Each structure stands twice: as C-alpha cells, then as structure tokens.
C-alpha cells in the first residue's frame, strides 16, 4: 500500500511539474535551489527559537563570532578573526572582522555584537529566549573595548564557551538597527544578519525564500536563490524528489530510500549527532514515582521497536549521548526489557490498570523519520501488554512545542541534535530551567552539581567521567527512555554537488552547486 501511495503522489508531482515548466534542470530553475522540509520554522530570530527548521534557515542568514569547520565541530574564526583567553578562563578578548555590514546596510562592530548578546542577558532576557541561559549563562558582562574589540567576562570557566558561540541558536549576531525598528522587538518574521544569504519572504505553510548576499564579506554563494519548501509528509517529499520538482529533501523514510535512489537521486548518509527519546513528566503524578517510570521502561522492547520503525537507519540508544561523543559511558544502560517484571512492579505500587495521557507530534523529525505519532503508537502497544491504557493526542510541531513547554501530558516524545559537539550540550538539557528544553521538568541537586563541575573542567578523562556519572543518574532515575540515534540522511539531485548535512544538522547552501 505504501508503494502505491508514493506512486500516486509521484504522478501528481509529475503532472504539476509538466504544467508549470518548473521541473529540475529547466532554465527557470537554474539559479534556484529548492529544499523540502517537513515543517515551518518557529521563527527566524536566533534569540527566540530552538528548533531545527528555524536553524536550517538561520544558518545561512546569520553568523556568530566563531563557526564550526565545514565538516566537523572544530572551532574556527567567523565574525571574530581571533581571540585570547585569560589564564583563569574568565576573560575572552575577541578581535572582530572589519568591513562587515548587516543585510540592512548597518555596520557590524563591537557595539553591534554587544547589543545582540546583551538582549539575552539579565535583566534584558525574557522567558521566551530558550537558549539564552544555555549559551550565555556564565557571562558576567560584555564590553566594547574599542570599535573592533569585544571583551566578554565570565563568572566561572566554561570549557564549551567558544563552541557555544558558534551555535545557530542564540549565538548569531543580529542587526541591532533592525531589532530597534521592529514593532515586535525581534526578527522572527524578518531576519537580518551578516551571512551569505539574506531573507526574501516567508509564506507560512508554503515556503521560506532567501537570496544571495552580493555584499557578503567572504566567498559569495554559488547558487543565487534558495527556497525552503514546506511539505509535511515524508512520502510526499520523496515523491517530489523522484519527480525532480525539488533539488533536495530532509526526512527520508527508510522504506523509501531504494525508490528514491532508483529515481536517480543521490543519498546523503552519516552518523547522526542526535538522540530520540521518550520523556516522563516527573513534576506530578503519576510519573513523579520512579518505580512507575521503571515499570513503564521495562514494558518497552526498544531494540525491537527501533528495528521495526527505522529498518537499520537508526541505531538503538542506550544513553543520552551518541556513542562517538566524549563522555559516552558504554556501561550505562536503561532498565532492561522485562514485561513480567513490569507487571510485578505495577502490582507492587498499586498501579495495575493505569491510564495515562501521551502527547506527540504529527510530523517527522531529523532524529525520528517515522513521525512522533508512529512512535507513540508503538509505545502504546507495548504498554497495553502490561495493562496500561495510553491515550494519544497529536499536534503539529509548532503547537506541540508549546504543549510540552506547558507541561502537558504524562509522557511526551522529543529529541535533540547536538549543537556543538560537546557533551554538556546534551546533558545540560536535564538541568535546564526552561521547560521547552528540559521537557521532563527534572530537578536533581546532585545532577546540577555535576553539571557545574563538568562545564568548567578541562577536556580529558576526568571531565568525561563526570558525564558518565550523569548518564548513570539519568538511567537510575528513569527520567528518559533513550530510543534511537538516527543516521543523518537526505536525498539530493543527480545534478547537485557539495551537498552535505553538517553534524549539527545544518545545511550550508552557499557551497552547493547545480549542473
């Protein structure tokens, strides 16, 4: 049935392409790259969003003081050309790039960089800035020492600080002039950065368009225009890819890979720096009881689930961290699958016949190509086998983010794509005060103290061991059930070169060419 559905969709896309004359390879498409993704951005101001769809656009519009290497998370200069760090790790002095202008024509300098960061520091920060504390929580103050020298003072050493400054969320420098002119006080609807592309338009539910910044300080983008086309269904994106009405797509379903490849498209595939997980709401009944959390975890055969849903394109997760990340502890495992032990625990704590509410998202995610709904239904089936009745409520991604932040549902599904290659970026999620980040509402003083110790510890075995301790605490307390680490996958046209997904999940379109 799935194959017939994709063929029908493919035929529809082929007819549309023939009528419009917009098929790939035609002259009208030669200067435009069409990339299909599953959902709209939540916004386009890096201070106010925390989702991958937003980051996918912003990574091409904004820049930070530092950046990652094209293919790794190694730190390189960007809007800062160099920096010096004091011996005590508390003072960072950045030499800034000269001659750079924002897309609105205003100059980039130390005052602009300071203003962009200052709005996310107390007392200016607001509750709807999800990455502010994570990125700048250790910043004591900022000083524009001269026109092109910026000094940042920290309250304590922060080992991943330079990596944090390269992230696409919170860290990019936005035009203070544009912010000042905005009626909303943010750039969510009209982003203005210094990047290789500048914003053109956003038609909600349809597309976001950007165009080459011909005044860019660095190497100019090779393709003039990029359109982010919103196509919610994975199968519809696959059909568009096969019909050649788009140039690349995210959210490639495992069952569709062969058909998409056979159509002539190329497949990008790499180890993903991500985690797909189930989270308990530990702030209230019934899942403020760790024994109940253990009972639920023991009811779920994660290895079987991952095999059936992802067909080898995701690997079973046993802990929060990806296996290749520093700090990963191979000895840490969640409670083992044991439905009889689950039933015995439920009886012991008087929770036989329990009814719970699950909330989930309807669209695919980069860490979960099967959609949140299919994942929730699989979990629902396992829980039924031990006598737990689970109702499922699904939302589109934008609404879902709000529901999770409000603490709705007894269980939710979420995921994370690493921003910077540092284990703090994953483990800090369980200590964040922001509920949109720490979706379980977990609050453990022992864990908090380890986070503080590890963030200032120098890289090496001792720091890695601290993260291993944190992983063990999360497994012991059963806060999350780690499910899978997805392969980073996408499809792109046979005429496309230099297409790749960065380990952080971003695609840098300025480097892509079409023949």
| Separation CA 359–CA 343 (nearest Å) | 23
pLDDT in tens, 427-486: 999 999 889 899 999 999 999 999 999 999 999 999 999 999 999 999 999 999 999 999
- Give the pLDDT band (50/70/90) at residue 15: very low
Residue 7, pLDDT score:
47
Q: Strands across the sheet with 207-212, in order?
A: 197-203, 207-212, 225-230, 32-37, 248-249, 488-492, 266-270
**Ordered DSSP codes for 161-179:** HHHHTT-SSS-SPP-HHHH
pLDDT in tens, 104-131: 999 999 999 999 999 999 999 999 999 9
Helix (H, G, I), strand (E, B) or coil at 427: helix
Residues 35 and 52 placed together within one structural domain of the fold: yes
Residues 65 and 164 placed together within one structural domain of the fold: yes
**Where residue 481 sits, what CATH number does that domain have?**
3.10.105.10
**Cis peptide leading into residue 12 (ω within 30°):** no
- Give the pLDDT band (50/70/90) at residue 17: very low
pTM above 0.85, yes or no: no
| CA distances for 254 relative to 4, 262, 276, 459, angstroms | 16, 14, 16, 37
Residues 78 and 131 placed together within one structural domain of the fold: yes
Residue 11, pLDDT score:
46
Tokens representing residue 66 in the block? 């530092």
Q: Across-strand partners of 492?
A: 248, 266
- Shortest CA distance to 296 belongs to which of 203, 388, 220, 417? 388
85's enclosing H/E stretch is strand 80-85
> Please, are residues 163 and 424 in contact by the beta-carbon 8 Å criterion?
no
Residues 259 and 116 placed together within one structural domain of the fold: no
**Ordered DSSP codes for 360-388:** EESS-BTTBTTHHHHHHHHHHHHHHTTT-
Residues 139 and 224 placed together within one structural domain of the fold: no
> Please, are residues 282 and 288 in contact by the beta-carbon 8 Å criterion?
yes
Sign of CA dihedral 44, 49, 55, 59: positive
**Where residue 130 sits, what CATH number does that domain have?**
3.90.76.10
Sign of CA dihedral 161, 166, 63, 132: negative
> Please, are residues 235 and 256 in contact by the beta-carbon 8 Å criterion?
yes
Residue 400, pLDDT score:
94
Residue 253, pLDDT score:
82
Helix (H, G, I), strand (E, B) or coil at 489: strand
Tokens representing residue 374 in the block? 């299919």
Q: Into how many domains does the chain fold?
A: 3
Residue 30, pLDDT score:
82
| Separation CA 163–CA 422 (nearest Å) | 8
* Average pLDDT over all residues of the chain: 93
| Distance in Å from the first CA to the final CA of the chain | 35
**Where residue 227 sits, what CATH number does that domain have?**
3.40.190.10
Residue that is last in its domain, among 165, 181, 197: 181
10's enclosing H/E stretch is helix 2-20
The region that residue 407 occupies, defined by phi over 0 for left and psi between -120 and 50 for alpha, beta otherwise, is: left
Residues 92 and 195 placed together within one structural domain of the fold: no
Give, to the nearest 10 degrees, the angle between helix 290-298 and helix 339-348. Answer: 150
Neighbour tally for 92: CB within 10 Å:
22
pLDDT in tens, 92-108: 999 999 999 999 999 99
Residue that is last in its domain, among 163, 181, 199: 181
Residues 10 and 128 placed together within one structural domain of the fold: no
Residues 196 and 176 placed together within one structural domain of the fold: no
Residue 363, pLDDT score:
83
Does the pLDDT of residue 18 top 70, yes or no? no
pLDDT in tens, 223-268: 999 999 999 888 999 999 999 999 999 988 888 999 999 999 999 9
Residue ranges making up the domain that contains 164: 61-181
Residue 53, pLDDT score:
93
Does the pLDDT of residue 5 top 60, yes or no? no
Residues 305 and 414 placed together within one structural domain of the fold: yes
Neighbour tally for 127: CB within 10 Å:
11
Residue 511, pLDDT score:
93
Residue 20, pLDDT score:
38
Residue 387, pLDDT score:
98
Residues 447 and 477 placed together within one structural domain of the fold: yes
Does the pLDDT of residue 65 top 60, yes or no? yes
From the number of C-beta atoms within 10 Å of its C-beta (0-12, 13-18, 19+), residue 177 rates as middle
The region that residue 350 occupies, defined by phi over 0 for left and psi between -120 and 50 for alpha, beta otherwise, is: left
Helix (H, G, I), strand (E, B) or coil at 483: strand
Does the pLDDT of residue 337 top 70, yes or no? yes
In eight-state DSSP terms, residue 18 is: H
Does the pLDDT of residue 23 top 70, yes or no? no
Identify the weakest region by mean pLDDT among 61-65, 187-191, 202-206, 363-367: 363-367
Residues 321 and 447 placed together within one structural domain of the fold: yes
Tokens representing residue 131 in the block? 């990455």
pLDDT in tens, 163-198: 999 999 999 999 999 999 999 999 999 999 999 999
| CA distances for 45 relative to 191, 387, 401, 510, angstroms | 6, 46, 17, 20
Residue 4, pLDDT score:
43
Residues 201 and 111 placed together within one structural domain of the fold: no
- Please give the backbone phi and psi of residue 378, each rounded to the nearest 5 degrees, phi first: -65, -45
Q: What angle do CA 200, 204, 207 make, to 5 degrees?
A: 55
Residue 25, pLDDT score:
37
């Amino acid at each position: 049935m799935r194959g017939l559905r994709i063929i029908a969709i493919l035929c529809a896309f082929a007819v549309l392409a023939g009528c419009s004359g917009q098929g790939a390879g035609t002259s009208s498409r030669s200067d435009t790259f069409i990339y299909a993704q599953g959902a709209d951005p939540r916004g386009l101001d890096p201070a106010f969003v925390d989702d991958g769809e937003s980051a996918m656009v912003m990574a091409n519009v904004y820049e930070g003081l530092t950046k990652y290497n094209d293919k790794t998370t190694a730190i390189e200069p960007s809007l800062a050309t160099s920096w010096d760090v004091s011996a005590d790790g508390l003072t960072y002095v950045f030499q800034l790039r000269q001659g750079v202008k924002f897309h609105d024509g205003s100059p980039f300098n130390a005052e602009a960089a300071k203003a962009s960061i200052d709005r996310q520091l107390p007392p200016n920060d607001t509750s709807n800035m999800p990455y502010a504390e994570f990125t700048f929580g250790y910043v004591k103050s900022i000083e524009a020492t001269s026109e092109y020298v910026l000094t940042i003072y920290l309250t304590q050493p922060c080992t991943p600080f330079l990596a944090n400054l390269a992230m696409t969320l919170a860290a990019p420098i936005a035009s203070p002039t544009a912010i000042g002119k905005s009626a909303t006080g943010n750039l969510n609807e009209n982003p203005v950065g210094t990047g290789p592309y500048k914003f053109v338009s956003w038609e909600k539910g349809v597309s976001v368009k950007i165009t080459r910044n011909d005044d860019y300080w660095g190497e100019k983008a090779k393709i003039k225009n990029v359109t982010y086309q919103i196509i919610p269904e994975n199968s519809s994106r696959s059909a568009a890819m096969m019909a050649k009405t788009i140039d690349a797509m995210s959210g490639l379903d495992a069952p569709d890979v062969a058909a998409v490849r056979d159509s002539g498209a190329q497949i990008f595939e790499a180890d993903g720096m991500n985690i797909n997980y189930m989270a308990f709401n530990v702030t209230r009944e019934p899942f403020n009881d760790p024994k109940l959390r253990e009972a639920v975890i023991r009811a779920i055969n994660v290895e079987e689930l991952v095999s059936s849903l992802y067909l080898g394109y995701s690997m079973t997760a046993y802990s929060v961290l990806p296996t290749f990340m520093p700090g990963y502890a191979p000895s840490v495992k969640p409670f083992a699958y044991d439905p009889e032990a689950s039933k015995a625990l439920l009886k012991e704590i008087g929770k036989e016949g329990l009814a719970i509410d699950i909330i989930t998202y309807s669209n695919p995610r980069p860490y979960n190509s099967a959609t949140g709904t299919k994942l929730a239904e699989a979990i629902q089936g396992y829980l039924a086998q031990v006598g737990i009745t689970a109702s499922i409520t699904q939302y589109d991604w934008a609404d879902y983010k709000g529901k999770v932040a409000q603490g709705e549902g007894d269980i939710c599904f979420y995921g994370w794509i690493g921003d910077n290659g540092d284990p703090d970026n994953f483990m800090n999620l369980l200590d964040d005060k922001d509920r949109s980040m720490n979706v379980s509402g977990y609050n453990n003083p022992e864990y908090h103290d380890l986070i503080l110790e590890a963030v200032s510890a120098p890289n090496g075995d001792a720091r890695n061991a601290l993260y291993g301790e944190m992983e063990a605490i999360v497994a012991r307390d059963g806060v999350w059930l780690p499910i899978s680490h997805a392969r980073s996958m996408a499809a792109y046209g046979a005429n496309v070169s230099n297409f790749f997904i960065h380990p952080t999940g971003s695609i840098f379109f300025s480097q892509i060419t079409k023949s």
